[in-house]
Amino acid sequence: MPSLRSFAATDRFITEIADPATLRPGYVLIGDEIFLYDRCRRAVLSTLIPPDTRDFSLHDIDLAETSIFEALDRAQTPSLMAPFQVLFLRNLKTLYGRGSKKEEFAAIDTYFRSPNPQALILFVADHLRIPTDLRKMDYQDKERFERIRETLGDWCGIIELARVDESDAIKWVTTTAESRNIRFDPDAARELVDSLGADMMLISSEFEKLLLYVSAPAPAAPNNAVILSGAHSAQPKDPEESNSATALPSFQPPVSTEAPQTPPLARNRVTLGDVETMVLAAKQRSLYELTDAISAKDRPRALLLLHGLLNASDGGEDAAIGHLYMLARTFRQMLIISEKNVRDPRAIWQVLWQGFRMPPFAAEDLIKQARRYKSRRELTRAIRLVARADLELRSSPANKLLVLERLILDLSTEPKPTLYKPSHQFAMEL
């Protein structure tokens, strides 16, 4: 795999621990990129810890439950069961909480002045978020990062687990697939990375699923056209011959004259359609494109996107209720964004609760779509239209496609102003 800038820190770490001459007594894995952390951890286990001694040489310690004094004492004490020890110390933020922590850092300095050569300490600082561009790091995270560097940088190697750049993620997808003899189309790789917000943990999971999908052999078509030879002898010629106890059976087993069919080979190629079919976030992208056309009142594009969404669905029109659910959910999100007057994508996580948030790639687009609606009444009207279409679909209509097309046309049309007519009747919507 070619060297990628986003993987440079982990590549350097893997190279250092492989050579006893460059191995340092401690490292700080700083950042919340889980994919890169797992990459470092797997390298440590495969390089420094044999599988048969892993139970005695690997220690996962939570500093919120175990004091740093006890952890350092365990690292300083040689093990009788394993020649080398590795200690992962989590919750490093407890050392930088309230109080000066002078005794704790004094103990750390004392240990690293004379460390155990048969032990490796790995501090895990996953409470910091390091963006791809360090200039965009949050001010508070930057202060914490500098404090860790000042206190541990003299003794430990600092390994930055920053967010992976989108271009590097795309290259990782294509090159990793090529190493497994599978072609990953560039537009498919770009769609996979973009739809998952360059989250490498999600990308790697969906990547494995896609490779299994395209590398599995396709099911063989059933062969019903079987030509039988000797079929004329399957029925006895003489009725008396069949009643004779000594007559030999004249039935011959059917023999196929066609060559046996072998199952088709796997495609070993991932296309854009495969990503749109298998990855949920890519399906959601098509939905947000549909709501974008609806909010822009672009009726022709909205109808085209609707048909494309139905054609890409496994259930076709039968999945219409699921699409209506996502439409209603999206309009509810836009309603909250409009009511809270959200302008910055980072503020979305404050107004939308866990489980009701959109994918990261859609945050900015959804804010733009919500601002196209002039009032709360327009958004509530859209939600009512979706609810009415949902009721029609659950009533088993003759044509589900017509119901969906009418809904899209209604949503993409400017509401007509209604004159106020006084009435003595009141209705309450539930």
Rounded distance, CA 73 to CA 318, Å?
63
**CATH number assigned to the domain comprising residue 16:** 3.40.50.300
109 and 183 in a single domain? The answer is no
What pLDDT shows up at residue 318? 65
Rounded distance, CA 9 to CA 161, Å?
7
| CA angle, residues 147, 148, 153, in degrees to nearest 5 | 115
52 and 17 in a single domain? The answer is yes
- Residue 202: what residue type? L
Q: What is the mean pLDDT of residues 166-186?
A: 92
Percentage of residues in the chain having pLDDT higher than 90 = 43
| Cα dihedral value 296, 297, 303, 308, nearest 10 | 10
User: Is 225 among the domain residues?
Assistant: no
Express each pLDDT in 278-316 by its tens digit.
776 666 667 888 999 999 999 999 998 888 878 766 556
10 and 106 in a single domain? The answer is yes
User: Is 247 among the domain residues?
Assistant: no
User: Is 378 among the domain residues?
Assistant: yes
159 and 10 in a single domain? The answer is yes
Q: What is the mean pLDDT of residues 144-164?
A: 91
- Indicate whether this model's pTM tops 0.75: no
**Residue 319, exposed/middle/buried by CB under 10 A (0-12, 13-18, 19+)?**
middle
159 and 174 in a single domain? The answer is no
In the beta sheet, which residues pair with residue 123? 28, 89
What pLDDT shows up at residue 428? 42
Q: What is the mean pLDDT of residues 162-183?
A: 92
184 pLDDT above the threshold of 60: yes
What pLDDT shows up at residue 239? 46
18 and 124 in a single domain? The answer is yes
Provide the CA 404 distance to its chain's centre, in angstroms.
Answer: 29
Express each pLDDT in 62-118 by its tens digit.
998 999 999 999 999 887 888 899 999 999 999 887 777 889 999 999 999 999 999
Higher per-residue pLDDT: 57 or 263: 57
211 and 341 in a single domain? The answer is no
Q: How many domains does the chain have?
A: 3
336 and 298 in a single domain? The answer is yes
193 pLDDT above the threshold of 80: yes
Q: What is the SS3 string spanning the chain?
A: CCCCHHHHHHHHHHHHHCCCCCCCCEEEEECCCHHHHHHHHHHHHHHHCCHHHHHHHEEEEECCCCCHHHHHHHHHCCCCCCCCEEEEEECHHHHHCCCCCHHHHHHHHHHHHCCCCCEEEEEEECCCCCCCCHHHCCHHHHHHHHHHHHHHCCCCEEEECCCCCHHHHHHHHHHHHHHCCCEECHHHHHHHHHHCCCCHHHHHHHHHHHHHHHHCCCCCCCCCCCCECCHHHCCCCCHHHHHCCCCCCCCCCCCECCCCCCCCCCCCEECHHHHHHHCHHHHHHHHHHHHHHHHCCCHHHHHHHHHHHHHHCCCHHHHHHHHHHHHHHHHHHHHHHHHHCCCCHHHHHHHCCCCCCCCHHHHHHHHHHHHCCCCHHHHHHHHHHHHHHHHHHHCCCCCHHHHHHHHHHHHCCCCCCCCCCCCCCCCCCC
User: Is 189 among the domain residues?
Assistant: yes
| Domain hosting residue 146, numbered range | 5-163
What pLDDT shows up at residue 219? 57
What pLDDT shows up at residue 315? 56
What pLDDT shows up at residue 278? 77
User: Is 236 among the domain residues?
Assistant: no
The mean predicted confidence, pLDDT, of the chain is 82
Sequence-distant (≥ 6) Cβ neighbours of residue 219 within 8 angstroms: 263
7 pLDDT above the threshold of 60: yes
The phi and psi torsions of 103 (rounded to 5 degrees) equal -65, -40
225 band by pLDDT with thresholds 50, 70 and 90:
very low
215 band by pLDDT with thresholds 50, 70 and 90:
confident
129 and 101 in a single domain? The answer is yes
Rounded distance, CA 296 to CA 369, Å?
8
317 and 203 in a single domain? The answer is no
User: Is 128 among the domain residues?
Assistant: yes
**CATH number assigned to the domain comprising residue 201:** 1.10.8
What pLDDT shows up at residue 237? 47
Count of CA atoms in the C-beta half-sphere (13 A) of 151: 21
158 and 176 in a single domain? The answer is no
231 band by pLDDT with thresholds 50, 70 and 90:
very low
13 band by pLDDT with thresholds 50, 70 and 90:
very high
Higher per-residue pLDDT: 37 or 4: 37
Question: Do you know the residue count of the chain?
Answer: 430
134 and 205 in a single domain? The answer is no
319 pLDDT above the threshold of 80: no
Question: Which of 98-102, 139-143, 174-178, 368-372 is the least confident region?
Answer: 98-102
Among residues 194, 188, 177, 358, which one has the least CA distance to residue 277?
A: 188
Which of 253, 272, 291 is the C-terminal boundary of a domain? Answer: 272
Q: What is the mean pLDDT of residues 121-142?
A: 87
User: Is 194 among the domain residues?
Assistant: yes
317 band by pLDDT with thresholds 50, 70 and 90:
low
User: Is 222 among the domain residues?
Assistant: no
Higher per-residue pLDDT: 195 or 200: 200
